[in-house]
Amino acid sequence: MRKRNLINKALAENEQRYKDLAEAGANVFWELDEQLNYSYISGDVEDLCGLKPAEFLGHYPPDLHNSNSSLDVDWELFKRITATKQPLKNFTFSLRDRHNGVRIFRINGSPLFNQEHKFQGYRGVKQEITAEQNLYKKIAYQATYDDLTGLLNRREFNEKLKNSVQKAQKYRTESVLCYLDLDRFKIVNDTAGHSVGDRLLSELAQLLQTTIRKEDTLGRLGGDEFGLILEGCSISEAEQVCEQLIFAINNYRIKWKNVEFDVGVSIGMVGIAQQSIDAAELLSRADLACYQAKNLGRGRVYIAENNSSEIDLQQTQMGHIANVSQAIKENRFYLVKQSIKPMVDDGKQRLHYELLLRLKDRAGNLITPEEFIPVAERYGVITIVDRWVLKTTLDSYPRYFADDKALVSINLSGASINDERFTSFAIDLIKKSQVPGDCLCFEITETAAISQISHAQKFIATMKDLGVKFALDDFGSGVSSFGYLKNLSVDYLKIDGSLVKAIINEDYDHAIVNSINEVAHLMGIKTIAEFVENDRILKRLGDINIDYAQGYVMGKPVAIAS
């Protein structure tokens, strides 16, 4: 009786153990005897092998399943483990089902010993882990590859680049890093939508992949930017490869409805050599070289090694705008005012100043706008700067300009006039300030206004409802289309300084300035000549009836406190 009770207790414990395992997701419970033959099995065995549970009993697993071609099991490993009475830990095998799909299973088993430490067999479970493995593979893929293009993602590309740098340092190998940025991609996105843009990126990724060698590494760095590592390649050889890539992309076309789009690519290149210090530094230099390729007309290669001083300058410029918010917090931005004076002063005209932005580095050295504004525009932080300028102007006006009810002009970037959030910000700020709208003048460049003319028109109309005036800056430096003036409600036309400075020596420039002035007056627009540096220029401008002058001869910029 006592023996039967012990057996029943053991059976109950086994059942509870199997129940616990079932709740943990086990599919099959099995036992082997001391000869390693099946002595017990339950669960979804028919689904796995097509055998009923009774057909397992008394058989050695490798012998029973060896003829099943749909099973992929490392039976030699199984034999080595069980022969030494070691636990079966995460022993995996796969099964090809009738739909030709692959299912993956995991076996865990423990050797059994009696009180005298005599081997009694194995007991364990088999679980299907197909979903788990697929999820793992998916996560591993997403951690390494870009979903859209199938190329390496930025993180994995950076790891490959680090390896290339280490290899160059250790073995003195020569490789090249290329930074590729598509030209005119935004036109496709804006016109045909992101789905067509995504298809373009995917197709171009495959085109690039087929153009390079197998040993090279191509990755998507984000948006329409790609990275390429050309292993064991000189700069001159890499330049030839890049020219092939440019040619291939120039000949690529994508169709949407009845429209056919073409794109191009600009490439920045930097060598990976023994003296290379840091992968991040290399990528930054390649990015800056790519930016320079775009500045020089796009669709070309720019080699950082051949133009290191220009790249160094760009890196310095990037450092100036790396943390705009911090520069604002540390009061390193400040404004200066410069007079805009009438050529004929009747004593009745209001004072007019342009407020110009300046930046100091942490050592107190002056950073000119030419050094930081272009980079701030490129990296999308210029609107933060514009917000600071507008707020500081409105805060400063009561102290410095209110007594004379002066007109103050400030410059706005194209990014800000195209940003509806900036428009809302400006409206709210002006309405809450003590500054009348007609005491403000926003200056926008000719190229910024014309490149996004519908946005410019909307912004100008909105601000003019508050009384704000507008000046079209740098006129004559861009397309200089008088036709656009009919569509832009501006109060002032600022003639580009390069034309003004040449007016006394170049008849051609004199004729251009004169024609701009005449057309502006016909349209009821006042003209302002920039960069008036001496009395000779001032007299020549007076001869053609320019309305206002701005420059050193009229007054140098003077700092105002914020």
Q: What pLDDT, in 10s, does the model give residues 223-255?
A: 999 999 999 899 999 999 999 999 999 999 998
477 pLDDT above the threshold of 70: no
389 pLDDT above the threshold of 90: yes
What is residue 25's predicted lDDT score, i.e. its pLDDT? 46
Q: Which residue has the tokens 């007594």?
A: 403
The pLDDT-based confidence of 1 (bands split at 50, 70, 90) is very low
φ/ψ of 63, rounded to 5, equals -70, -40
The pLDDT-based confidence of 317 (bands split at 50, 70, 90) is low
Query: Reduced to 3 states, what is the DSSP secondary structure of residue 77?
Result: helix
The two beta strands, 225-230 and 175-183, are: antiparallel
The pLDDT-based confidence of 478 (bands split at 50, 70, 90) is low
The pLDDT-based confidence of 171 (bands split at 50, 70, 90) is confident
State how far the Cα of 65 lies from the Cα of 73, in Å rounded to an integer: 9
Q: For 540-555, what is the mean pLDDT?
A: 94
Query: Reduced to 3 states, what is the DSSP secondary structure of residue 471?
Result: strand
Percentage of residues of the chain with pLDDT beyond 70: 90
24 pLDDT above the threshold of 50: no
CATH, domain range 145-318? 3.30.70.270
The pLDDT-based confidence of 284 (bands split at 50, 70, 90) is confident
Q: By mean pLDDT, which of 198-207, 214-223, 297-306 is the weakest?
A: 297-306
What is residue 15's predicted lDDT score, i.e. its pLDDT? 44
What is residue 552's predicted lDDT score, i.e. its pLDDT? 93
- Annotated catalytic residues are 224
Q: For 178-197, what is the mean pLDDT?
A: 89
| DSSP bridge pairs for 455 | none
CATH, domain range 2-135? 3.30.450.20
What is residue 151's predicted lDDT score, i.e. its pLDDT? 94
Question: Tokens at residue 123, please?
Answer: 């007991």
Averaged pLDDT of the chain: 86
CB 350 within 8 A of CB 401: no
Q: For 59-83, what is the mean pLDDT?
A: 91
CA atoms within 13 A on the CB side of 61: 22
Q: What is the dihedral of CA 274, 278, 284, 286, to 10 degrees?
A: 20
Q: For 406-424, what is the mean pLDDT?
A: 93
State how far the Cα of 408 lies from the Cα of 337, in Å rounded to an integer: 9
140 pLDDT above the threshold of 60: yes
DSSP 8-state class, residue 211: H
Q: Indicate where the chain has its CATH 3.30.70.270 domain(s).
A: 145-318
What is residue 47's predicted lDDT score, i.e. its pLDDT? 65
What tens digit of pLDDT does each residue of 328-375 get?
888 889 999 999 999 988 878 899 999 999 988 878 888 878 777 877
> What is the CA angle 303-305-311, rounded to 5?
80
What is residue 6's predicted lDDT score, i.e. its pLDDT? 40
What is residue 366's predicted lDDT score, i.e. its pLDDT? 86
The pLDDT-based confidence of 483 (bands split at 50, 70, 90) is confident
Q: For 90-110, what is the mean pLDDT?
A: 88
The pLDDT-based confidence of 315 (bands split at 50, 70, 90) is low
Q: For 497-506, what is the mean pLDDT?
A: 90
What is residue 316's predicted lDDT score, i.e. its pLDDT? 56
The pLDDT-based confidence of 561 (bands split at 50, 70, 90) is low
CATH, domain range 322-560? 3.20.20.450
| Sign of CA pseudo-dihedral 419, 423, 424, 429 | positive
Global pTM value: 0.56
What is residue 280's predicted lDDT score, i.e. its pLDDT? 86
What is residue 65's predicted lDDT score, i.e. its pLDDT? 87
Q: Indicate where the chain has its CATH 3.30.450.20 domain(s).
A: 2-135
| DSSP bridge pairs for 93 | 105
